[in-house]
Amino acid sequence: MNSWIDHLSPLGARFHPDEATQIEDFGRVLSAADLAAGFVAPVTDLGLIGVAGEDAASFLHNQLTNDVEHLGTGDVRLAGYCTPKGRLMATFLMWKEADGIYLQLPRAIQAPLQKRLSMFVLRAKAKLRDATEEAQRVAVLGLGGAKAESALRAHVAELPAAPYAKVEGPAGTVIRLADALGAPRYLWLTSAETAAAALPALREQLALGGNAAWQLAAIHAGVPQVSQPTQEQFVPQMVNFELIGGVNFRKGCYPGQEIVARSQYLGKLKRRMALATLDNAAARPGDEVFSSADPDQPCGMIVNAAPNGNGGADVLVEIKLAAIDSEVRHGSAGGTALSFLPLPYALDAIDA
């Protein structure tokens, strides 16, 4: 359980089972309409790896799918960590501060990923640590929707002007992420005391959600997050990772780089990630989906899922592009039907 949660207990916290541990969650299930209007969500299921040392950037540059050596202090990037076969073991939100580089990922997979990365440090002057509970960034608040910018400005002096940028100040670090539902999303990392002081005023203007609301916003932004059930399932392009800036094809070698590049340039990938909704709130990452055109074989897999406030779930689903125009169902050919929705970016096949 997060230590900073104790500061927020009067605000309606409750225990919520989350994979391998009990993580406290907040608020209620929000709908896409709630998110579009404006929401704030204490985010408790993300962990943070700090990487410090004079070789920190070069070490990570040789491990991840994106450029780390040219990461500026105002930049934020997505990055993936692949197996030698090019399959994603993790997707990170990555940024640089004065004391090192930070990688944010699901808390449930942080420890094994941190251990694996540490095995490859060897003689590099780089040290990895668990930075999740460090005082200046222990509290994580996610905000989005039409009212979020003005609500957040009452508590921080400056906001990032564009997606995937950040600003630091006395109130903490504010990161702007890809827009969702036509409005900016922000991640505010700060101290427990600052978050506890700000949240009552924020919830007067914004709907209060929790981890599920934050995940739903990311789903509508079309930004995937690899979690425990989906590790080693996808080449980055299968989840649109290069379309949203998570892969740099000019940066040089990293584990799986040859396969990722081959998928891009030889045009053999005919699978993408789509946004869909279904009337089944029990949909989970790792669940398979089936097409009526070939009901005996799965045509894809759910990458991320979150309750949508209407009794069902909205999902990001990796799927054969040929199956999107058919009837697609969850779990089996007789399962709940998926209805596909437009992503906020163009979706193209890689098929030379």
Question: Residue 7: is its pLDDT beyond 70?
Answer: no
| Residue 188, SS3 per DSSP | strand
Question: What confidence category does residue 23 fall into, taking pLDDT thresholds of 50, 70 and 90?
Answer: very low
User: What's the pTM?
Assistant: 0.93
Residues contacting 207, CB < 8 A, separation 6+: 27, 30, 34, 35, 37, 38, 39, 40, 213
Answer whether residue 153 shows pLDDT above 80.
yes
Across the range 30-58, mean pLDDT stands at 97
Q: Which fold has domain 3-221?
A: Gyrase A; domain 2 (3.30.1360)
Type of residue numbered 312:
G
Q: What is the mean pLDDT of the chain?
A: 91
CATH code that applies to domain 270-345 = 2.40.30.110
Interatomic CA distance for residues 37 and 242, integer angstroms: 29
Spatial distance between the Cα atoms of 300 and 322, rounded to a whole number of angstroms: 11
Question: DSSP assignment, residue 336?
Answer: P
Please answer whether residues 285 and 300 qualify as being in contact, where contact means their C-beta atoms are separated by less than 8 angstroms: no
Reported as type and span, the H/E element at residue 107 is helix 107-119
Mean predicted confidence (pLDDT) in 154-181: 96
Least confident of 24-28, 224-228, 282-286: 24-28
Where are the strands (E) in the chain, listed by range? 14-18, 21-25, 39-42, 46-52, 76-82, 88-97, 100-106, 127-130, 139-144, 165-169, 172-180, 183-190, 207-208, 271-278, 288-291, 294-307, 313-320, 328-330, 338-341
Judge whether residue 24 has pLDDT over 60: no
- In this structure, is the dihedral angle defined by the CA atoms of residues 197, 192, 135 and 183, taken in order, positive or negative? negative
Between 81 and 2, residue with greater pLDDT: 81
Over residues 301-318, mean pLDDT? 97
Is the per-residue pLDDT at 25 higher than 80? no
Question: What are the tokens at 45?
Answer: 């299921």
In the chain, ranges of CATH 3.30.1360.120 domains: 3-221
Q: Look at residue 280 in the predicted model and tell me its pLDDT.
A: 95
The pLDDT-based confidence of 106 (bands split at 50, 70, 90) is very high
- Reply yes or no on whether the pLDDT at 138 is more than 80: yes
Within 8 A by CB and 6+ apart from 313, the residues are 277, 278, 280, 281, 282, 283, 305, 306, 307
pLDDT above 70: percentage of residues in the chain: 90
Mean pLDDT of 47-67: 97
